[in-house]
Structure 1
Amino acid sequence: MRKILFIIFISAFVCISANAQQIDFYNLEEEQIYNPSRKYNTWSVTAGIGPVVYYTDVVDYTVFPSQNWKFGPSILVGKQLGRPWSVDAQFLMADMYGEKNSRFFEGDFYDLTLNLNVSINQLVLFGPIRDRLNIYGKIGLGVNYFRARQRNIETGEWITVGDVHGGTPGYPRPYGWSDDDFLAIGYEKDNPEEKTDRGSEMVVPIGLGIDYRINKSFDVGFELMLRNLSQDNLDVNLTGADNDSYMSNSVTVTYKIGKKDKRHALWTYKDFNMGWQRNRRVDPNAQKLDSLRQRLEEIAANDSSVTDTTFIYREQIEYRKTLAASVFFDFDKADIKTDAHKVIAVVARFMKEHPEEDILVQGYCDERGQMITISDLVRDDAMLWWMSW
């Protein structure tokens, strides 16, 4: 069973890698880009149903049963923690059945688990696949509460400890049980018809799931979980070599709680621009560039329109016959900032007074911004016009 889960993990990774080239980060809408300061929907409720397959000592199959399939419903409440991570509380219940040789066990259980989820595509691709698919892994911890008892397949009679352990010399007997006790947990040992307190064991679920986003409110998906128990009592066999486990498979429907016009945080993409800004704060070269930018802005601010230093500054231009100036834009904008008009005025004056000079214009952008291409500079007595598309 663990090999099957490993194969599923590998298949999910290959599927994500195959779609990696199909993500267009340059044409994302504003609501698709995750910003911690923005409000997102983060709570959800999921309902599911599907077959539950038992891996105990009293079963006659290796992977899937050939008959007597059991189905169980589940419900969980989830809370998203940023983009990749979330937690959920899950409830699952189902009937149980398994047979081997001349006996079978039957019963029912419910378990309560607290799980940690990680979106694999959010870590690998930094967002959902094609804005529709999310593949996640899950691991958790909880408690299974169960009732089970064994019967003879041919006669339907209840089976005692002696029926199973007495006929095989050297076969270990369960500690604390007598040969006359019926193999039953959650029922009276001397009367399997009477219910008593359920048995309980720790359960560790681990598995994979996939969600498909229908709209901002609903997702559909499929979840496969292998739930490993801490003991070997689920089928009341009591002395097996391995601890019991069971696999739950669920087709799910998720309702994302919150405002209808907001996205759920899971269905957003990493903001590379914000990451670039954080890295820039500690980059010494970027700090030097910011210092130079500040100095250029101070020089531009000392223009004749506001001070009496025009003659000195003009002399520097006339003798050097060179000028360097920088104009900055907001992200994904072509509008010139108010404080940059003075810089443009200085450049315009220089161009008007030195028509023989050649002008080199260069533009830069970050990894997501739209590139601004300047095709022409139009001289005018009033101002400098920038033509862009």
Structure 2
Amino acid sequence: MSLYKYSVSTLFIMVLSCTYSFAQIDFSNLTDEQIYRKHNKYNTWSVNIGYGPLVYYTDVIDYTLFPKENIKLAPSIIVSKQLGRSWGLDAQFLMGDMYGQKNNRYFEGDFMDYTMNVRFSINQLVAFGPLADKWDIYGKVGLGVTAFRSRLRRLDDDSFMQVKDVHDNLGGYPNPPGWEDDDYLVMGYNKQDPEEEIKRQTELVVPIGAGVRYRINKNFDLGAEITMRNLTADNLDVNLSGADNDSYMHVGFSVSYKIGKKNKRHARWTYKDFNLAYESQRASDPLAIRLDSLKSELDRLAGLDSIITTKSYQKFEKVVYEEGISASVFFDYDRSDVKKSEHRQLARVARALKRDKTIEMVISGYCDDRGSYEYNLKLSERRCNSVLEAMVNDFGIDRSRFRTDPKGESELLSDTQNMSSKGLHMANRRVDLLMIVNEE
């Protein structure tokens, strides 16, 4: 198998590995650092150094896809600027030697390629983040200039070919404009002296490609990229009678260094903030607005009375615990951190607990019905623990006075499957602090 076939096969295997890795993502364990928020600062610059094979597609080649000999390798340098999670700009420099042969002639030369590319992350657009926190699959398209020197020569004696050597055999095919019969078929060299270098020939080039990155750590990535670089002219091989524009393919294997502070994550390796999108949608949802209004009214009425009383429980002889509502703390979608606006509820409960040292409580956590049962059960457990830590660390209540009871989605207050299709999901995203009454 040729080096080119091996390169393409390796890239294909890496893409398959990335797709499989997506099934292993655990969104429940994302940290704040991994979630992209516009007001946060991330590292956005990186430098990429790559190296790999070149394949030319011109009129003077004796293969369809891959050459069997005279393999050319080329280095490349990319300076990248990340624009948010999904998009970035790549300024790329690529240089290499050229070669192709057909029948009794061959062309040889070298080029320097300068392009600006727009890069878009496929997994960011489809899966909202890197796959398994390690893989990034992307596409790119750009525009640039290639500056090259090229000469057409005979295979048998390496002598330089002239215009008449080609066009005399074409049945009177006219010479290209500006070319005479005794001109040598060269670009970037003197037509009358093929050994004398002159200004390089320049052509527009349009690169289109795809690649994959593997994140090693906050500083370095490994990558593989394949780009087809299409010229807007047919001069690369100095075969002036060709019908199609020339192009060349580069397969690069690379190492990237991410520039910036070592304690910050690169924006390319962050995940979508679903809570931000949810809040934006929720702000115009009349049902959510109504629920907020009802919650505020309940809070106001609850404040007019004692949060916790014990008199009503004296009527029962065998009560293990009584779910008298002490307070409810509500959470944002897929979040377990206690919002500042909810600390007032906890403060009221803490005041009652400090007033009566005998009171014990159960912290019951709930989720809405979006997500799997297992995931929601873990999320409700994290919500319970967040409230517990707030009561212990922020208000100084003894940890032994609480027990947690995560319920997941098992006891929906608002059943969005069978009741409102739009769903009062917020009512289910909560923690209830309930008083336990010991048997008298």
Name the TM-score class by shorter chain.
0.7 to 0.9
Listed one character per residue, the Cα deviations across residues 15-64 of structure 1 (whole Å, up to 9, x for unaligned) are: 55544322111111221121222111110000111111110001111111
Residues 56 and 288 from structure 1, CA distance in 2 versus in 1: closer, same or farther, beyond 3 angstroms?
Answer: same
Q: What are the residue-to-residue correspondences of 1:376-387 with 2, within 5 Å? A: 387=403
Structure 2 contact 142–206 (Cα < 8 Å) conserved: yes
Residue 370 (structure 1) aligns with? 379
Which residue is 1:106 aligned to?
108
- Contact 2:98-2:108 at 8 Å conserved across structures: yes
User: How much does 1:208 deviate?
Assistant: 0.9
Flag structure 1 segments of 5+ consecutive residues without an equivalent: 306-313, 315-321, 349-358, 375-381
Alpha-carbon distance change, 196 to 324 in structure 1, aligned in 2, over 3 angstroms = same
Write the distance in 1 (CA, Å) between the matches of 2:104 and 2:166: 10
Aligned to 1:388: 404
Give the alignment's TM-score, normalised by structure 2: 0.72
Write the mapping of 1:313-328 to structure 2, written as runs, cut at 5 A.
Answer: 327-328=328-329
Q: Is the 8 A contact 1:92 1:112 kept in 2?
A: yes
Secondary structure, aligned partner of 2:328: coil
Match in the other structure for 1:340: 345
Alignment size in residue pairs: 353
Q: Any idea what the Cα deviations from partners look like across 1:160-212, whole Å, max 9, x if unmatched?
A: 00000112204342122111110011000111111111111110000111111
Structure-2 separation of matches of 1:12 and 1:207: 15
Q: Which amino acid aligns with 1:175?
A: P
CA–CA separation in structure 1 for the residues paired with 2:288 and 2:35:
25
Contact 1:327 1:343 in 2 (8 A): no
AA at the equivalent of 2:344:
D
Contact 1:300 1:343 in 2 (8 A): no
Whichever residue aligns with residue 248 of structure 2, its letter is Y
What is the identity, as a one-letter code, of the residue corresponding to 1:21? A
- Does structure 1 conserve the Cα–Cα contact (< 8 Å) formed by 2:84 and 2:267? yes
Relative to structure 1, is the Cα distance of residues 288 and 225 closer, same or farther in structure 2, using a 3 angstrom cutoff? same
Contact 2:55 2:67 in 1 (8 A): yes
C-alpha deviation, 1:11, in angstroms: 8.0
Instruction: Tell me the alpha carbon deviations over residues 329-348 of structure 1, each in whole angstroms, 9 at most, x when there is no partner.
Output: 56424799442147659999
Is residue 259 from structure 1 mapped to residue 255 from structure 2 by the alignment? Answer: no
Q: How does 1:145-160 map to 2 (within 5 A)?
A: 145-160=147-162
Shift of 1:150: 0.9
TM-score (norm 1): 0.81
Equivalent residue for 2:291? 289
Q: CA deviation at 1:135?
A: 1.0
Structure 2: unaligned runs, 5 residues or longer: 312-322, 354-361, 385-396, 406-440
Which of 211, 216, 219 is the matching residue for 2:218?
216
Q: Which letter does structure 2 place at the counterpart of 1:251?
A: F
Task: Determine the C-alpha separation between the residues in 1 that align with 2:52 and 2:276.
Answer: 42
Query: How many angstroms does 1:224 deviate by?
Result: 0.7
Aligned residue for 2:227? 225
Instruction: Tell me the SS of whatever aligns to 1:76.
Output: strand
Which residue does the alignment assign to 1:65?
A: 67
Amino acid at match of 1:332: S
1:133 maps to what in 2?
135
Superposition pairs of residues 227-242 of structure 1, within 5 angstroms:
227-242=229-244
Aligned to 2:422: none
Answer whether contact 1:293 1:326 (CA < 8 A) is retained.
Answer: no
What's the C-alpha RMSD, in Å, of the aligned pairs? 3.4
Choose the corresponding residue for 2:34, options 32, 35, 41.
32
Deviations 1:224-268 (A, max 9, x none): 110000000000011211100000111111000001111111111
Contact 1:47/1:254 (<8 A) preserved: yes
